[in-house]
């Protein structure tokens, strides 16, 4: 089949983006979206033109590297799917697809569809870890963990940090990402001692990075390739308020 692409091309972060039209003929229905872009780039290179820059790594929906907006939807139209897992059988012959990078002040464009998502790494560095010394690994049954808490923690741990939630959110909020990381650690006994400090540090860092606030629109949940639920944001907000009430907050004066 034939696919028409309108791709946002931008030489660097300071350049003005422009939509460039490309036709990709003879697209196999079984190709992944990234394989289709590979075919386009091979054709561009053969013509002596600049290939389209896009992020990718494992191509198995695990690493969180790939991602762009496809017709205004992060990772494209299929729910619970990363861009590398999106196959061309999703589309029809002659479809016109508009490809743009993640749009967020916290994700500056590097080139074409590639953005700098290191702001998410700095959120993790601020509080997404456990530093309490726990000694040797305890026996598996020494600390009882409720099944519901363990399952909620593992569901949150599925987050791959792709940034689709930020890109789709009208406020460019990182709340779903932060909520997932905080729930993953905070719901388990090992993460309980630093639970208050962790959420305050990550919220403060999110403000410093320029992420917006959550207004419960739900676009983040709708496009999350791992289908992380909004309840992790509610849990994050509860933890933040708890920390503020205890008066431990380094950011209490700015909370709102």
Q: Give per-residue pLDDT as tens, 197-256.
A: 999 999 999 999 999 999 999 999 999 999 999 999 999 999 999 999 987 544 444 343
Domain coordinates in residue numbering, the chain: 3-110, 117-254
- What Cα–Cα distance (Å) separates residue 188 from each residue in 40, 46, 109, 131, 183? 46, 53, 36, 14, 8
Given the structure tokens 């990772």, which residue do they identify?
Answer: 75
Determine the pLDDT at residue 248: 54
Name the phi and psi angles at 140, rounded to 5.
-60, -25
Could you tell me the CATH superfamily of domain 117-254?
Answer: Alpha-helical ferredoxin (1.10.1060.10)
Determine the pLDDT at residue 128: 93
- In whole angstroms, how large is the CA radius of gyration of the chain? 20
Round to whole Å and give the CA distance between 199 and 186.
9
Determine the pLDDT at residue 205: 97
Q: Indicate if the alpha-carbon torsion angle 96, 88, 108, 253 is positive or negative.
A: positive
User: pLDDT by residue for the chain (256 residues), tens digit each?
Assistant: 999 999 999 999 999 999 999 999 999 999 999 999 999 999 999 999 999 999 999 999 999 999 999 999 999 999 999 999 999 999 999 999 999 999 999 999 999 999 999 999 999 999 999 887 766 766 767 778 899 999 999 999 999 999 999 999 999 999 999 999 999 999 998 899 899 999 999 999 999 999 999 999 999 999 999 999 999 999 999 999 999 998 754 444 434 3
How many other CB atoms are there within 10 angstroms of residue 152's CB atom?
19
Instruction: Check residue 111 and give left, alpha or beta (phi > 0: left; psi -120 to 50: alpha).
Output: beta
Given the structure tokens 């309840």, which residue do they identify?
Answer: 231
CATH 3.10.20.30 at 3-110, yes or no:
yes
Determine the pLDDT at residue 56: 97
Determine the pLDDT at residue 134: 63
């Amino acid at each position: 089949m034939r696919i028409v692409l309108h791709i946002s091309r931008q030489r660097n972060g300071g350049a003005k983006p422009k939509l460039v039209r490309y036709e990709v003929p003879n697209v196999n229905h079984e190709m992944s979206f990234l394989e289709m872009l590979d075919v386009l780039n091979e054709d561009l290179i053969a013509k002596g033109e600049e290939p389209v820059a896009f992020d990718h790594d494992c191509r198995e929906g695990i690493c969180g590297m790939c991602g762009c907006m496809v017709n205004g939807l992060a990772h494209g139209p299929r729910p619970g799917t990363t861009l590398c897992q999106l196959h061309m059988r999703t589309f029809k012959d002659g479809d016109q697809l508009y490809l743009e990078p993640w749009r967020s002040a916290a994700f500056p464009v590097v080139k074409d569809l590639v953005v700098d998502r290191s702001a998410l790494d700095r959120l993790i560095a601020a509080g997404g870890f456990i530093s309490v010394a726990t000694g040797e690994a305890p026996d598996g049954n020494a600390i009882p963990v409720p099944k519901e808490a363990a399952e909620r923690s593992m569901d949150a741990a599925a987050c791959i940090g792709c940034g689709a939630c930020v890109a789709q959110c009208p406020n460019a909020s990182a709340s779903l990402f932060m909520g997932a990381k905080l729930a993953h650690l905070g719901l388990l006994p090992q993460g309980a001692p630093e639970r208050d400090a962790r959420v305050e540090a990550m919220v403060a860092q999110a403000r410093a990075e320029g992420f917006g606030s959550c207004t419960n629109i739900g676009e983040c949940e709708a496009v999350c390739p791992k289908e992380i639920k909004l309840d992790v944001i509610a849990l994050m907000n509860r933890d933040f308020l708890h920390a503020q009430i205890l008066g431990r907050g380094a950011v209490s004066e700015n909370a709102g």
